[in-house]
Amino acid sequence: MAAEQLLQRRPGCLVLLFLLLASVMMCPLVWSSPPTTVGRPPELTLLAGAAEKGAVCLDGSPPAYQLERGFGSGSHSWLVYLEGGGWCSTVEACSKHTKSALGSSNFMEAVQYAGIFSNDQSQNSDFYNWNKVFVRYCDGASFSGDAEYEDQDGNKLFFRGLRIWEAIIDELMEKGLANAKQALLAGCSSGGLATLLHCDDFNARFPPKVAVKCFSDAGFFLDKKDMDGERFIRSVYNGVVHLQNVNKVLPKDCLAKMEPLDCFFPSELIKSISTPTFILNSGYDSWQIKNVLVPDESSPEKSWLTCKANIRDCDSTQIEVLHGLKRTMVGDLKVVQDKEEWGLFIDSCFTHCQTPFRISWDSPISPRLGNKTIAQAVGDWHFSRGQRLEEIDCDYPCNPTCSSQLPS
């Protein structure tokens, strides 16, 4: 199967929260929204003057976001959350994206909020009353590209993720973000990578007195060899970096000593980030097992097809290989130990993207480390409650709070 056709689907999740996985190139984000509760979703807002600003989706349509206003004590607190949805690394793949919400706002619909977006205090005690923005993803390069191409049919493709980022943040500033007393930039999967790419730029837009932090969920993608000894994810990133011209968002200190491709990986990005950041990831990230470690391109044996679909079906030899994935992640994150205001929550659950789901974020069966749910851990880190939070789970299957009901 070609890279641009890879797509991991979750039963019951495709349409509801983020409509992310339809026609996703190799790396579909793999998170959509859980079935949600009451109330209408925040209105889908198209960026004003998008064409004039050159800040458009792959097909030239205006990008979009959803904004839910904060209230009470959260009126001057802002959560800006970047949607994920994989990447497109070829003209052909990006052209396919223009026929979906991942490349055109013409196919977008407003989606319901849950998890970290919930306005229910019992489910989201620290952020329930904040201004919450969900920035929709339609550029295919983690909000980082700046180029333009034509596909084989002569249709223009606009790789304008960087301009989308800048224009939407500028518009949000006019809508109250500039008056924030505290702001948190977050995102999941390819949106989690985008969070790392834009973290310091986001921070630089505020006066020093404003508390600004960043939070990447399932965005720590590894430069890891697959089962055939190839670096499949590296080949995908190489296509994204060169096709979409992402150099402008990459750290200058990294580019001074490494190739742009290397600087697009989180293991290098985090070395350059000065803004306090929280990394949430599973050491057994289900998407990375399916697409980085055992991609379809590696022609896995039938036993691996079963294993990568459900970690509970892996044999002891396969589990040892998966332990290696976790060890690589933990090793790449050692640099965080020298960053005092950073936080880690690396669990051992077979899942990917844990913030937009109530079941993962804060529920009776949420993953726990140090007897804290993800919501509690992130809140304690953000508000500096207690000791520094750097939780790294034991090896699978040690954690009894890793429920089989978690989205994978």
> Which residues are catalytic, by number?
189, 285, 352
Distance CA 353, CA 375 (A): 13
Return the CA Rg of the chain: 19
> Quick one: tokens of 125?
């005690």
Contact criterion met (CB below 8 Å) for 28 and 51: no
Contact criterion met (CB below 8 Å) for 338 and 320: no
Distance CA 19, CA 110 (A): 10
**211-217 and 277-282 as β-strands: parallel, antiparallel, unpaired?**
parallel
**Count of beta carbons in the 10 Å neighbourhood of residue 337:** 11
Phi and psi angles of residue 192, each rounded to the nearest 5 degrees, phi first: -70, -35
Distance CA 55, CA 134 (A): 17
Distance CA 344, CA 408 (A): 21
Q: How far is CA 213 from its chain centroid?
A: 16
Output the DSSP codes for 27-70.
Answer: ------PPP--SSPPPPEEEPTTHHHHT---TTSPPPEEEEE--
The amino acid at residue 30 is V
